[in-house]
Amino acid sequence: MNYNKINNIIGWLCGLIATTVYVLTAERTASFWDTGEFIASAYKMQIVHQPGAPLFLMLQNVFSNLAFGNPERIAFWMNVGSAVSSGLTIVFLFWSITALARKVVWKAGTDLTESGLIQIMGAGAVGALAYTFSDTFWFSAVESEVYAMSSLCTAVVFWAILKWEARADEQGSDKWLLFIAYIMGLSIGVHLLNLLAIPAIALVIYFRRTQRVTSGGALKALLIGFVVVAVVLWGIIQYLIKFAAYFDLFFVNTLGMGFGSGVVVFALLLIGGTVYGIWYSIQRAKPLLNIILLSFAFIVFGYSSFAMILIRAKANPTLNNSDPDNAFAFLSYLNREQYGDNPLFKGPYFDSRPIDVNYGSKIYRQGAEKYEVAGQNFDYVFDRETIFPRIYGYREPSHQQYYRSYLNLGENEQPTFGDNLRFFFSYQVGHMYGRYFLWNFVGRQNDQQGHGDLTTGNWISGIKFIDQLHVGGQDALPQSQLTDPSYNKFYFLPLILGLIGAFWHFKRRQRDAGVVGLLFFMTGLAIVLYLNQTPLQPRERDYAYAGSFYAFAIWIGLGVVGISDWLVRKLNARTAGLVAAVIGLLAGPVILAKDGWDDHDRSQKFLARDIAKDYLESCAPNAILFTYGDNDTYPLWYAQEVENVRPDVRVVNLSLLSADWYVRQMKDGVNEAEPLPITIPDEKYVKGVRDVIYYQDAKIPGAVELKNIVALMLSDNPNDKRQIQGEAPENFLPTKNLQLTINKDDVIKHNVVPERWQDSIVDVLQWTYNRNYVSRAELAIMDILVNNNWERPIYFATTVPSENFMGLDKYLVSEGFALRLMPINMVQNSSQGLVNADAVYDHAMNKYVWGNMKNSPYIDPESYRMISLILNNIYAAPAEALIAEGRIDEAKKLLNNALETLPERIYRIMDAYSYSFIVDNLYAVGETEKANALTERNVKYLEEQLRYFAAIAETKPNLEMQNIQYSMFTLNRFAESAKEHGQDDLAARVSKIFGQYEVRFFGGGVPSN
């Protein structure tokens, strides 16, 4: 038998199956989160958020060419790029599993039997295909994100070290180690997760090369592996650039040479030194030094993909995150300084208070002719600190509240180190890793993101008595959950198969099992330790642990051999192998694919792109649109940069506007959008200058003109400054009472206010600023307000938190997905605020697109979170305003459009609450039958939820109380609405349900909202 041929054919077949699955289920356009930024940046070779992924962007750019110029297909072909990377990952996983199985099944010096071949190939196929259909890997495989390509890098290096191990005694075998080093270097340009495979590689090298394996020797090899990770992570990735930056600092500031001269000299010294070292190691016959230096050279060579970042930053593209066009900006970019650091070994508790500051190294920025000092790095000294801090975040009130609730701490009770460990094991290890692990190999209750409650995002198995103990009340699971595509039951089968494989592996080949176990730990729990995640994450983070699930998939495959070894006692070897392979396929890939397909098929989902279009279409021509988060920004960047949707709108992300480089970029025009009217000179807001301007009440009577306040905050006159925090006087905000004088003619000329509201235009905009400081973002917005003269429409996306409105809330008018700043004095015309009903009606009926939301078999969590927003802002509030104006026919058309547009499935209690306003409006326009049907649907949903909450309360009282209260309040709204509009029978039925659960949960008391 030609083992290699069979191994190659089946490996490629598994990869082909995986790639086909991923292409079939891939999203046809951009999705939420980072993919919009990645696709736009890859298409035009732009700079993504720190620390960048240049190799990923360059390779995805290649796939974009397969769209042959069709901008609507570019995203799909980049998604195919991830599908291909994921398919290749499955190929290398197959070969890794067969390599490990072969070492046990095929004894050296003997012929491979047919039964042995079946065992080896069965193991490879089962493990590879199980990982193919695993939840986390499948999710990343169908969108243009870095994790698919990062997984490929991990799969390649693990396969390569097994290839080296099999050939270590052959001449030239160390080329495999150099290949691994090069892939490691390349992987830095995708994601750093691949570096975590290094300790496992170190163990393989030790086991293969040492004559006598000892525990001490293995520990030493493991420590060397950790040292290598540190050398690459800090020494190569960061300190090489840091040395280059300080070389440049010396050459520019001391020797008076041009920017970049020191970098060139350092690069020449690095190359020359490495070449000399390699030559020296050859001349002096030092093989260890030679392999180290060659590996270093290959890692640096692979790492050189980051030259793309510098080159493209110099070209000043539209998306140029951090503008890393010089040595120190590039160093800051690589160090992710924009995001800050989490404490790892020592740090504060969440209730600790800073009592002192330790200053460190200087921070430099590029000036006109020299590098200038922009400030100093510093660390706070706290009144209470602990080793291994896990409950921290003294600046985040929401985190502090969550810690107290999660740990059952009183309002003034101080946390202890025991609380610290309890949170680590229960939340960080259990909720933020163990839960994800079980999602992949046991089952998932639903995909609704939760933060530890029983009804959202839990694992579930499908075995009733176990699930009853785990989350309670499984017999009472609501129908909405039982029919949800994300309700996946695997009955522990993939997990059991993997545990069988792990047990068999440790029993039969302990060293290899230890290597796989180390890979499992390093790409799983080690990441938990390093990330030290805070609670209330904005999204699920399971993608970070894909490498750990990859390692477990190896054991799932080896479970086939373990089962076969047991069956061979009762069956002949060939039959045992075949039966084990069939059992493995059914317990692994088949059950995972069966339940996982419907919630991973994103081929009919377009909402992220279409909602982005709707945000842009909500704006008048040449508008300025302020956004805040990833999902109201990245899809918009994609729509503009790739599909050329509304390129006249200037999207301004408020989270980035606090950075000097971003303000500077806003002063340039992009695409068809003009520069923002920011007049502040660059030198007045560079890093280290006016980073934050604090409020200090100067007791000024009345409101002060905004242009005078801006001028004061920008003044360099010492008389215009106060001593606030430091020793030197600083600019300050003297009052929060602000005003902006209005030229009514300008407002009318530029169509800022609808004609019917022009009598409500005010002479002066007056408001109270809502913060105790002014960052660059607020300073830039103030400057825009002063200089815009109402020439360009100014909008805030509806998803921008109200605290970012700077107190201008009463002047913001909804026009759909965006709130327009209007200088008017009007009473709000809907329960949701002031609405320009004409604009929203036109947008909803003629411009908005909804991404097949009505008929898509699966809607992902971020998409169905949009439903409440759509219900409230696009339909309920405008309909209410139209009804108030007596425009019943238009309101009716708008509401019917909602029923035609939105999915019939109700996803969350919050959606049911939003639907109650639609019901009110349907009754008001005479659509009684439709209002009753919508009420029935929502009441049925709420009753099912309350029945489940009641079942949970039997064994776990006092849980889900917030959801219970919200459900009861919403149920009561439906009852009151039906009664108010003469639907007495319906109202009575809803009230009866309300009364039953009122007694059950509140003893007859009235639940509060």
Q: What is the pLDDT of residues 321-375, one digit of tens each?
A: 999 999 999 999 998 887 878 898 999 999 999 999 898 889 999 998 999 999 8
For residue range 886-909, what is the model confidence (pLDDT) as tens digits?
Answer: 999 999 999 999 999 999 999 999
Nearest-Å Rg of the Cα atoms of the chain is: 31
Show the CA angle centred on residue 146, arms to residues 142 and 147, nearest 5°. 70
Averaged over 81-91, what is the pLDDT? 98
Q: What is the pLDDT of residue 952?
A: 83
Looking only at Cα atoms, what is the longest distance across the chain?
A: 98
Q: How confident is the model at residue 1009 (pLDDT cuts 50, 70, 90)?
A: very low
Architecture of the domain delimited by 828-1009: Alpha Horseshoe (1.25)
- In order, the DSSP letters of 97-142 are HHHHHHHHHS-TTSPPPHHHHHHHHHHHHHHHHHHHT-HHHHHHHT
Q: What is the pLDDT of residue 422?
A: 95
Question: Rounded mean pLDDT of the chain?
Answer: 93
In degrees to the nearest 10, what's the CA dihedral of 322, 324, 328, 331? 80
For residue range 141-161, what is the model confidence (pLDDT) as tens digits?
Answer: 999 999 999 999 999 999 999
Block residue for tokens 């309040």:
969
Q: Which residues, other chains included, contact 717 with Cβ-Cβ below 8 Å and sequence gap of 6+?
A: none
For residue range 504-559, what is the model confidence (pLDDT) as tens digits?
Answer: 999 999 999 999 999 999 999 999 999 999 998 889 999 999 999 999 999 999 99
> Could you tell me which of 267, 288, 263, 265 has the C-alpha nearest to residue 277?
288
Encoded tokens for 119 = 């065992």
Q: What is the pLDDT of residue 630?
A: 92
For residue range 944-956, what is the model confidence (pLDDT) as tens digits?
Answer: 999 988 888 877 7
Q: How confident is the model at residue 1008 (pLDDT cuts 50, 70, 90)?
A: very low
Residue 313, SS3 per DSSP: helix
Please state, for a pLDDT cut of 70, what percent of the chain lies above it. Answer: 99
Residue intervals in the chain for CATH 1.25.40: 828-1009
Q: What is the pLDDT of residue 512?
A: 95
Please state, for a pLDDT cut of 90, what percent of the chain lies above it. Answer: 84
Asked if pLDDT for residue 378 goes beyond 70, the answer is yes
**Number of helices (H), then strands (E), in the chain:** 41, 17
Distance CA 221, CA 607 (A): 50
Distance CA 134, CA 444 (A): 12
Encoded tokens for 151 = 């997984």
Distance CA 728, CA 723 (A): 6
Asked if pLDDT for residue 1007 goes beyond 70, the answer is no
Q: What is the pLDDT of residue 1003?
A: 78
Stretch among 72-76, 501-505, 718-722 having the lowest mean pLDDT: 718-722
Asked if pLDDT for residue 1 goes beyond 80, the answer is no
Q: What is the pLDDT of residue 961?
A: 84
Block residue for tokens 């990330």:
531
In this structure, are strands 818-821 and 794-797 parallel, antiparallel, or unpaired? antiparallel
Asked whether 646 and 640 are in contact (CB, 8 A), the reply is yes
Q: What is the pLDDT of residue 851?
A: 86
β-partners of residue 732 are 694
Q: What is the pLDDT of residue 338?
A: 77
Block residue for tokens 């050189």:
304
For residue range 659-690, what is the model confidence (pLDDT) as tens digits?
Answer: 999 999 999 999 999 999 999 999 999 998 99
Averaged over 632-643, what is the pLDDT? 96
> Could you tell me which of 881, 798, 890, 795 has the C-alpha nearest to residue 835?
881
Q: How confident is the model at residue 725 (pLDDT cuts 50, 70, 90)?
A: confident
Asked whether 96 and 155 are in contact (CB, 8 A), the reply is yes
CA 781 remoteness from chain centre: 27
* DSSP H or E run through 363: strand 354-366
For residue range 610-636, what is the model confidence (pLDDT) as tens digits?
Answer: 999 999 999 999 999 999 999 999 999
Distance CA 243, CA 247 (A): 6
Asked if pLDDT for residue 1004 goes beyond 60, the answer is no
β-partners of residue 382 are 354
Asked if pLDDT for residue 565 goes beyond 90, the answer is yes
Q: What is the pLDDT of residue 1005?
A: 54
